[in-house]
């Protein structure tokens, strides 16, 4: 069975794949477990439900981000989902609308659905980024603008996204000026080290995406490696800048995205180690010098 959703930026969930079934089950279990635990602690029903929703979203979005960042390796998304579970226990307050925005921005850039964004899709993303820029942080508009500009510059460009990019940039600048003097804090050493380590770990994944086998969901045409790499860098810049500006509170806002970045990175290193170990353990063929 496949669950289809409208819009050129939405992707289907094919339950014929065991990994897809597993992530839905894990998400529901995590949602139910956290909700039940919070209700047991005598929190009101709505607060318990919302806490469970954040928990389930942390797992699901970490998995979904990983599928965008590392489309050729389904198992790397499982690593990301595990880190999404663990991350929620440490940072339990991701911004759900910000997660939705970041996922849509990645799909605008890498076109994992195989289709360019429609005008209605771009307008919805612009509205969401504008609201988050004004209510949460100006960087959301900045990276929406970046995604729109990249989509309008890469092969098979969507020229109309130049307009949405300019509009998102204007809103971001307005939000920045309005918040000027309010954030005025320097990033702490720990968060800077975290960003640098995560970036260094992620570099091989970006470099390894120069060749992509995966195809667009709705077209069957291979994904453009440059678009995939641009989406990877956009994700790293988005999470990194917000963390640099707001410290661990910024990291918490996009915790599932960090889980995906670290998950696909660790999977890549583990995969290399297993391949090398497998070759080293193979016995020499008879007759070889």
pLDDT in tens, 36-59: 988 888 678 888 899 999 999 999
Confidence (pLDDT) at 279: 60
Token digits of residue 240:
């990194």
- At 215 the three-state DSSP class reads strand
Q: Give me the pLDDT at residue 41, please.
A: 82
At 282 the pLDDT is 44
Select from 117, 196, 195 the least CA-distant residue to 150: 117
Q: What does the pLDDT average to over 150-161?
A: 94
The pLDDT of 68-97, averaged and rounded, is 92
d(CA 93, CA 70): 25
Q: What is the pLDDT of residue 186?
A: 63
Predicted model pTM: 0.91
pLDDT band at 179 (very low <50, low <70, confident <90, very high): confident
Q: Which residues contact 233 (CB under 8 A, 6 or more apart)?
A: 206
User: What is the per-residue pLDDT for 102?
Assistant: 98
- Give buried/exposed letters for 69-108 (b at 16+ CB in 10 A, else e): bbbebbebbbbbbbbbbebbeebeebbeebbbbbbbbbbb
**Are the C-beta atoms of 26 and 86 separated by less than 8 Å?**
no
Neighbours of 224 (CB within 10 A): 17
What confidence category does residue 249 fall into, taking pLDDT thresholds of 50, 70 and 90? very high
With 70 as the cut, is the pLDDT of residue 3 above it? no
- pLDDT for position 235: 97
How many Å apart are CA 122 and CA 15, to the nearest integer?
28
User: What is residue 185's predicted lDDT score, i.e. its pLDDT?
Assistant: 58
What residue has token string 């900045």? Answer: 142
Of 66-70, 179-183, 186-190, 214-218, where does the model show the most confidence? 66-70
What the block records as the tokens of 75 is 């198992």
């Amino acid at each position: 069975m496949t669950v289809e959703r409208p819009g050129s930026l939405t992707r289907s969930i094919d339950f014929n794949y065991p990994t897809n079934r597993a992530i839905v089950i894990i998400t529901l279990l995590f949602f139910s477990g956290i909700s039940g635990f919070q209700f047991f602690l005598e929190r009101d029903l709505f607060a318990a439900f919302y806490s469970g929703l954040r928990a389930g979203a942390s797992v699901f979005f970490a998995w979904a981000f990983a599928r965008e960042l590392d489309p050729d390796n389904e198992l790397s998304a499982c690593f990301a989902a595990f880190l999404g579970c663990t991350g929620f226990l440490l940072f339990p307050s991701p911004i759900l609308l910000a997660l939705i925005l970041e996922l849509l921005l990645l799909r605008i850039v890498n076109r994992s659905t195989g289709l360019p964004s429609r005008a209605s899709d771009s307008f919805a993303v612009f509205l969401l980024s504008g609201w988050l820029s004004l209510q949460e942080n100006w960087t959301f508009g900045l990276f929406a603008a970046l995604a729109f500009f990249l989509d309008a510059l890469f092969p098979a460009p969507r020229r109309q996204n130049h307009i949405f990019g300019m509009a998102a940039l204007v809103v971001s600048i307005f939000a920045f000026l309005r918040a000027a003097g309010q954030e005025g804090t320097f990033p702490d050493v720990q968060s800077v080290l975290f960003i640098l380590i995560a970036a260094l770990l992620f570099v091989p994944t970006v470099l390894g995406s120069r060749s992509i086998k995966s195809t667009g969901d709705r077209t069957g045409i291979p994904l453009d490696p440059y678009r995939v790499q641009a989406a990877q860098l956009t994700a790293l810049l988005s999470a990194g800048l917000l963390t640099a500006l707001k410290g661990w509170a910024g990291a918490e806002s996009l915790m599932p995205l960090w889980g995906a970045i670290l998950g696909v990175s660790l999977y890549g290193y583990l995969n290399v180690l297993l391949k090398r170990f497998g070759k080293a353990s193979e016995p020499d063929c008879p007759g070889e010098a």
